[in-house]
Structure 1
């Protein structure tokens, strides 16, 4: 099985014991640190008053028997202070956040794969306009419930890769997306696998569907376009706090 499926856990948000929403995310490792990366609005969305106090991800415990899984809960606050890291640019808040995972607290049997800085694309010319992209996540919470695995949605690049769409740190993809896929990695197959056991290039973090506010609901179909933040924001968010520009929420 492709390790991409074990790099992208399902994310559930909770207020105490009350389940709130489902989302997507992925593991990102830097040096000895392990993070869960997802959309900022998964952790907090002021507009909709979405304010969970913890999340739960699904971990696999056996590479041969994928039905062996467990939930792993992580708090979002400690003494009233947010534990995740987020960032800003000239356009305001960036809809990407990371939450460090305590490796010592993980089950010893946990099986997971993680993206690293080596997976992030820096050579924009390496991503041709006709590249086939994939978004690995949990649309509307849908997934293989027996093996707790995400689904892959095929997508295409819809704006020039390397150019900030509308002046923000985003690019567009063309593909079907639904609620629940927020925070999913946007990837393409590594043509010359130099990224180890996870042979994918990490392009971005899926944020949301994009539509026209003045679209005629009766006459015009949805644009079918999606917004993704460039993955290099993860390099800022995972720097040591004293050295990086990332800030707690």
Structure 2
């Protein structure tokens, strides 16, 4: 008699909080990117890099995105695409970040959870996951960047991959006066918009179902403009915008 197959391994909820993003103009595919879910006051948002949704220097102007949704918590091979328009009657429905230091390469778009398949499997970060105690993030803290570098992922189970990262500039200090810090990690195109997280070693009741602290949103690689492309290696450094910008971008509208 054949042995019964073992039950599937439980997947860390972090993998289910970070869907892949594909951008389109109509039916024409443009780029792949990363993002993550953020929930506040029972409203669900998708957070990513602003340049994923609009980038004037490269004339990147998608009119919709598509995110991957898992539809069975016990069978991760089952998933579907969910289309989200970026404009309604010519007006952008996404919001981008800005502070006293200028534009922030972060954007959020509210998602209609009622339009999701009833069985959709979604794990979300919340304001309780934001790392607000800068002193609790020493320089040797190990970080993870959760996303889809070059669009690479587990195509059977439709899950992102994790890139290990280190802190490259003091966490809590605005690098060069901007609302970001630097990470040391191997990254690629397609991972823009990924969550930068660290393990929550003392999760509260509010974070127990997703025991990770959200530190930032990965944006892009940092390089020297005068680097000799033959003699000098890339710096291997990246910009990550502080995640507390999400509180501004998801602020409930005034009554």
TM-score normalised by length of structure 2? 0.94
Partner of 1:233: 245
Corresponding residue SS for 1:46:
coil
* Offset, 1:91: 2.3
Match of 1:89 among 78, 84, 99: 99
Cα separation, 2, equivalents of 1:106 and 1:23: 20
Corresponding residue SS for 2:69:
strand
Partner of 2:68: 58
* Offset, 1:240: 1.4
Partner of 2:170: 160
* Offset, 1:198: 0.2
**Per-residue deviation, residues 194-241 of structure 1 (Å, max 9, x unmatched):** 212000000000000000000011111000000000000000000113
**Per-residue deviation, residues 15-69 of structure 1 (Å, max 9, x unmatched):** 0000000000000000110000000000000000000000000000011100000
Tell whether 2:163 aligns with 1:125.
no
Corresponding residue SS for 1:104:
helix
1:146-225 paired onto structure 2 within 5 Å: 146-194=156-204, 195-225=207-237
CA RMSD of aligned residues (A): 0.8
Partner of 1:246: none
Partner of 1:23: 33
Cα separation, 2, equivalents of 1:94 and 1:79: 25
Corresponding residue SS for 1:143:
coil
Cα separation, 2, equivalents of 1:28 and 1:230: 14
Cα separation, 1, equivalents of 2:185 and 2:215: 15
User: Which structure has the greater CA radius of gyration?
Assistant: 2
Cα separation, 1, equivalents of 2:102 and 2:171: 21
1:26-37 paired onto structure 2 within 5 Å: 26-37=36-47
Partner of 2:149: 139
Partner of 1:43: 53
Cα separation, 1, equivalents of 2:101 and 2:224: 20
**Per-residue deviation, residues 134-178 of structure 1 (Å, max 9, x unmatched):** 000000000000010000000000000000000000000001000
Partner of 2:4: none
Cα separation, 2, equivalents of 1:78 and 1:63: 33
Cα separation, 1, equivalents of 2:211 and 2:48: 20
* Offset, 1:86: 1.3
Unaligned runs of 5+ in 2: 1-10
* Offset, 1:87: 2.3
Partner of 1:247: none
